[in-house]
Amino acid sequence: MTIAKRLGLATIVLIALGVTSAYYVTMMALQTRSGPVTSFVFIVLGLLAVATVLVMFVFWHGIGRAMNRISGQLHHMTRTRQLGLVMTDGAQELQHVVRPLNELLTMLNGEMDRLRADRRELEIQSRIASAEKHHVEAIIYSISDAVIVTNRFDELLLANEAAEKLLGFDTSAALRKNIDGVISDGTLVRLIRETCSHGRSSHRRVVEHSMDRKGQPRTYNITLSCVVAPNGEVSGVVAVLRDITREKEIAQMKTDFVSNVSHELKTPLSSIKAYIEMLVDGEAEDEQTRQEFYDIISSETDRLNRLIQNILNISRIESGVVTAHREPISISGVVKQVLDVAAPQASAKDIKIAQQLSPVYYQIEADHDMIYQAVLNLVSNAIKYTPPGGTVTVKTAVDEVRRMAVCEVADTGAGIPANDIPHVFDKFYRVSANKKVAKGTGLGLALVKQVIESVHDGNVSVVSEQGKGSRFSFELPVLN
């Protein structure tokens, strides 16, 4: 029998007894006379009622204690978040409630164990994902090219320092903002937007694009990749911008160098060939004409030799195979030798050569041929880039305080624009504004710098003003 039924039955019995007792007491009160039988019945009924109340009290007390214990156990479980089984301590009446409650608790316990395992798994995965994210960020931040990562809504997800500097934004403020409002270069924004619009088939492409940086035009190779999730959905774009301005300049310089060298070799060779043919054909009738032809052939051969020496020396110095034969030499002595050789080139252009040379007894310890080549390059450049009628002044001096021998070659020629000055000593570099003034290879000054600075630990410098002239100088320690 269930508790509800038992409780119902006990209540009905109590009510019946109560009603009967009340009815009887009332009847007795109405009949004034009462006999011993009536008193006996009244006592029995009273005892019966007291016994019933006692039974009910014991019964409810037992139930109440069991309920308190159950409630205590449930509170404990709530506090400790540990589900266990509920114990009734033998209160059989509550078994009907406790059994299904324990079944429910067992089921919940299993469910909680499963959820805890799931949670642990998720935590591990989240830690792995966060470590991987940091890894990727570290890689991206260490790349010197500019890197931008966007999501499929064209919002900025990640950008490295190079991108911030190039595009002028602050990543922490620009995160999750649409690239429209972050990147001012409209073409770049369009390229990022279009990257995934053609679907997966074209998910990586490289585009060359020019942008201004600090007011200077620069060329970038932009590699755009459409990021596709394993389920095939487009999840964003990665754009890597590599500055190829210098690479392009070098490639152009090399192309120019090959064509310039070919030209520089061909011109004296054709001239030598032409004069030899004239001599062979007997076109030089008198001794003076023949002598003129020999001089031209000789000076053109020197020009060829100078060019080949420049090319060879520069590559020897760069590869470190050159050995300088150091000996005490006089710079003024070397300058005199150079001026003797350069005199015909200067007089052919009607250029006056002025010399202010220090006494020859000042000496430096250096490789004669290399210093000769360096001075020759400076003097022939001065003649090359000075229009007819100009003046080239060559000076040597000794700075007694610093114990340095100084050599200066100044001219009244084309001069060099301020922007080009920092680059004139670079290999293959030719000043655009002066390209029409004279042909060349862009190697002469590079060799001067190598010889003076790398081989002899000296200094080279230039002061120049476009249209007014230039002054190249170098200094080397003087011997005591």
**Which residues of this protein are in contact with ligand ADP, per CB under 6 A?**
377, 381-382, 385, 411, 413-416, 424, 429-431, 434, 440-446, 470
Quote the least distance from Cβ 194 to ligand ADP, whole Å.
Answer: 43
Q: How far is the CB of 238 from ligand ADP (least distance, A)?
A: 41
Taking the C-alpha atoms of residue 362 and residue 398, their distance in angstroms, rounded to an integer, is: 8
> Residue 215 corresponds to which tokens in the numbers above?
């007011």
Ranked by CB distance to ligand ADP, the top (closest) residue is: 440
Looking at beta carbons only, is 86 or 431 nearer to ligand ADP?
431
Least Å distance between CB 315 and ligand ADP? 15
CB of 438 to ligand ADP, least distance (A): 6
Tell me the C-alpha distance between 299 and 292, whole Å. 11
Nearest distance from residue 381's CB to ligand ADP, in Å?
A: 4
Q: Which residue blocks in 168-323 are alpha helix, DSSP H?
A: 171-174, 186-195, 245-280, 287-319
**d(C-alpha 445, C-alpha 379), whole Å:** 11
Q: Which is nearer to ligand ADP, 196 or 382 (CB)?
A: 382
Q: How far apart are CA 332 and CA 143, in angstroms?
A: 52
Q: Which CB atom, from 373 or from 434, has the smaller least distance to ligand ADP?
A: 434
In this structure, what DSSP letter does residue 413 have? S
Q: Which is nearer to ligand ADP, 227 or 431 (CB)?
A: 431
Residue 43 CA to residue 404 CA, distance in Å, equals 143
Contacts of 31 by beta carbon, 8 Å cutoff, 6+ apart: none
Nearer to ligand ADP, 375 or 443 (CB): 443
Say if CB 367 and CB 326 are below 8 A apart.
yes
SS3 at position 85: coil
Q: How far is the CB of 424 from ligand ADP (least distance, A)?
A: 4
DSSP secondary structure of 95-112: HHHHHHHHHHHHHHHHHH
Q: Which long-range contacts (CB under 8 A, 24 or more apart) does 395-404 make?
A: 395/355, 395/356, 395/357, 396/331, 396/332, 396/335, 396/356, 396/357, 396/358, 397/356, 397/358, 398/358, 398/362, 398/478, 399/475, 403/477, 403/478, 403/480, 404/475, 404/476, 404/477, 404/478
Give the residue with the Cβ less far from ligand ADP, 150 or 310.
310
Q: Toward ligand ADP, which CB reaches closer, 330 or 386?
A: 386
Distances in Å between the Cα of 384 and the Cα atoms of 266, 351, 436, 445 are: 18, 10, 11, 13
327 residue type, one letter: E
Q: How far is the CB of 341 from ligand ADP (least distance, A)?
A: 16
Which CB sits closer to ligand ADP, 88 or 441? 441
Between 198 and 254, CB nearer to ligand ADP? 254
Q: How far is the CB of 259 from ligand ADP (least distance, A)?
A: 12
Return the amino acid letter for 220.
Answer: Y
Q: Tell me if 72 sits within 8 A of 87, measured CB to CB.
A: no
Least gap, CB of 442 to ligand ADP (angstroms): 4
Q: State both tokens at 334.
A: 């070397």
Q: Establish how many alpha carbons lie within 13 A of residue 448's alpha carbon, considering only the half-sphere containing its beta carbon.
A: 25
- Judged by beta carbon, residue 150 or residue 470, the one nearer ligand ADP is 470
Which residue is associated with the tokens 């050159």? 322
Minimum Å distance from CB 373 to ligand ADP? 12
